[in-house]
Structure 1
Amino acid sequence: MQLKTIVLAVGLMATTALTGCSTIGFSYSTASYSSVVDAGYVIPAVPRSKIPPQFLRQEVRYDGTEQPGTIIVDTGAKYLYYVLGGGKAMRYGIGVGKEGFEWNGTARIALKREWPTWTPPKEMIQRRPELAEFRNGMDPGITNPLGARALYLFNKGGDTGYRLHGTPEWWSIGKAMSSGCIRLMNQDIMDLYNRAEVGTKVIVR
Structure 2
Amino acid sequence: MSDARESDASAQYGRFSGFLSRRSFLAGSAAGLAAFGLAGCATGGMSLAQAQKVYGPVPDERFPIPAVNLSKVNPKYLRRTVRYDTKEAAGTIIADPRNYYVYRIEGDGYATRYGANVGRDGFRWSGDAYIGRKAEWPVWTPPKEMIRRQPEAAQYAGGMPPGLNNPLGARTLYLYQNGAYTLYTIYSTIMPETIGKGISSGCIGLLTQDMIDLYAKTPVNTKVVVLPA
User: TM-score, length-normalised on structure 1?
Assistant: 0.87
Moved over 4 A (4+): none
What is the aligned partner in structure 2 of residue 87 from structure 1?
Answer: 109
Partner AA of 2:136 in structure 1 = E
Equivalent pair of 1:145/1:168 in contact (CA under 8 Å): no
Match of 1:166 in 2: 188
- For the structure 1 residues 176 and 62, does the alpha-carbon distance in structure 2 shift closer, same or farther, using more than 3 Å as the test? same
Cα deviations by residue, 1:80-122 (Å, 9 ceiling, x for unpaired): 0000112110000000001110110000001010001100001
Q: Secondary structure at the match of 2:206?
A: strand
Alignment-derived partner of residue 175 in structure 1: 197
Which of 145, 162, 165 does residue 123 from structure 1 map onto? 145
Q: Percent identity?
A: 49
Q: CA deviation at 1:22?
A: 2.6
Tell me which of the two structures has the higher relative contact order, counting C-alpha pairs closer than 8 angstroms and 6 or more residues apart.
Answer: 2
In the alignment, structure 1 segments of 5+ residues that lack a partner are 1-17
The 8 Å contact of residues 23 and 59 in structure 1, kept in 2 or not, is answered as: no
Q: Which runs of 5+ in 2 are unaligned?
A: 10-40
CA distance in 1 between counterparts of 2:125 and 2:62 reads 35
1:157 deviates by 5.9
Which residue of 102, 111, 117 maps to 2:133?
111
Q: How many residues align?
A: 188
Q: Quick one: distance in 1 between partners of 2:137 and 2:60?
A: 9
Question: What is the CA distance between 1:150 and its match in structure 2?
Answer: 0.2
What does 1:1-205 correspond to in 2, within 5 Å? 19-23=4-8, 26=42, 28-29=45-46, 30-31=50-51, 32-156=54-178, 158-205=180-227
SS at match of 2:64: strand
> Please, what is the CA RMSD of the aligned residues?
1.5
Secondary structure at 1:60 match in 2: strand
**Would the aligned equivalents of 1:57 and 1:92 in 2 still touch at CA under 8 Å?**
yes
Structure with more strand by fraction: 1
One-letter code aligned to 2:185: R
